[in-house]
Structure 1
Amino acid sequence: MNAFRILGVDPGIARLGYGVVDVEGSSLRCVTYGCIETHAQTPLPVRLQTIFRELTDLIQRHSPAVMAVEELFFNRNTTTAFTVGQARGVALLSAAEQSLAIAEYTPMQVKQAVTGYGRADKQQIQQMVKLLLGLVDLPKPDDAADALAIAITHGHSAPIERLEVREANRTTGWNWERRTR
């Protein structure tokens, strides 16, 4: 059985978290994680361009089968929601440009999948991500831990999809995970 690679993305304009996780059967393995950071003094179009370029580079370097992205949920600051939404849009564009499948999860779905509790706090999520991935230390910063949690959510939520992709690869000779022959 081959590993199924997932790129988890926690959208943000100042800091976009990413985490790459391999899933093989019920086993999870962390490949890498971190953040793409942009500075507040940099014009917004340049910040978005930085996110696009760095995320595209990550996709090309790690060849995930899918990008799992957190859906946005804001109930207070609409200005923040708009800029984070723009960063999320750039992340989705980066995946689309690389012919990468996209999965989306709400924050509650992520918390439920990782901790079993839909109202888990950041510390609980970090502890469970550390445990599920067998990491020595808590993944930091929070944005990277959240991205790993999003990847784990897809790993737990999509075993049927992975089987369908593998079956399509086997029967057609077409690599549906990377959209190549």
Structure 2
Amino acid sequence: MPNQRLPQSIGHTLEPRRILGLDPGLRLTGWGLIECRGHRLTHIAHGTIKVKVGQDLDLRLKDLFEGLSQVIQNLLPHEAAVEETFLNKNPATTLKLGLARGIVMLAPAAQGIRVGEYSANHVKKTVVGAGHADKEQVKTMINYLLPACGELSYDEADALAVAICHAHTLETQQHRRIAS
């Protein structure tokens, strides 16, 4: 069962949007929910979906889908965003991570929620200012931007970073549409 933490902020007010950031993994999948109102970001919740490692792959993927579907039903996000899979030295590992990523994209899509995709470098550059920031730098910046998050795992920090990146990217796209 996913663990959860609740609310914090940063900025202005408009129509609120809830964005679920997702950091896919076959053992641990981090998730983080923020609410956006203009420039204001509010931490709503975060957690980790833990899948039993000893199970067959099909059962692990099923557990991941069910766990994430439950998070989505409980938190009711408007949008979701996921980090793209990086290429691993081991092709079998990359393939398995790709399967987990597919499940992580399917769970929100199956509930009618659009899913944005971002490279790890884009997420880090947006949130930290450096595309090759390490996990500790990402976690530190998330705690700075959303101080009420409290204790975060790296997976949860990465998921919140993906949500913030999505919010920032959407806001930038809206400003470009207005300007043109």
**TM-score above 0.5, yes or no:** yes
Cα distance in 2 for residues equivalent to 1:59 and 1:135: 21
Deviations 1:98-143 (A, max 9, x none): 010110000000000000111111111001011111236342x111
State the Cα distance separating 1:160 from its structure 2 match.
5.8
TM-score (norm. length: structure 2): 0.85
1:18 equivalent in structure 2: 31
Asked if the contact 1:126–1:138 (Cα under 8 Å) also holds between the matched residues in 2, the reply is no
1:116 correspondence with 2:147: no
State the Cα distance separating 1:50 from its structure 2 match.
0.8
Q: 1:90-101, aligned counterparts within 5 Å? A: 90-101=103-114
State the Cα distance separating 1:162 from its structure 2 match.
7.1
RMSD of Structure 2 on Structure 1 (CA): 1.6
> Which residue of 77, 95, 98 corresponds with 1:64?
77
Q: Write out the 4+ residue segments of structure 1 that deviate beyond 6 Å after TM superposition.
A: none
Cα distance in 2 for residues equivalent to 1:115 and 1:33: 19
2:170 equivalent in structure 1: 158
What 5-or-longer segments of structure 2 have no aligned partner? 1-13, 176-180
Asked if the contact 1:112–1:118 (Cα under 8 Å) also holds between the matched residues in 2, the reply is yes
Cα distance in 2 for residues equivalent to 1:97 and 1:145: 25
Identity of aligned residues (%): 37
What 5-or-longer segments of structure 1 have no aligned partner? 164-181
TM-score (norm. length: structure 1): 0.84
What is the total number of aligned residue pairs between the two structures? 162
Q: 1:10-159, aligned counterparts within 5 Å? A: 10-135=23-148, 137-139=150-152, 141-159=153-171
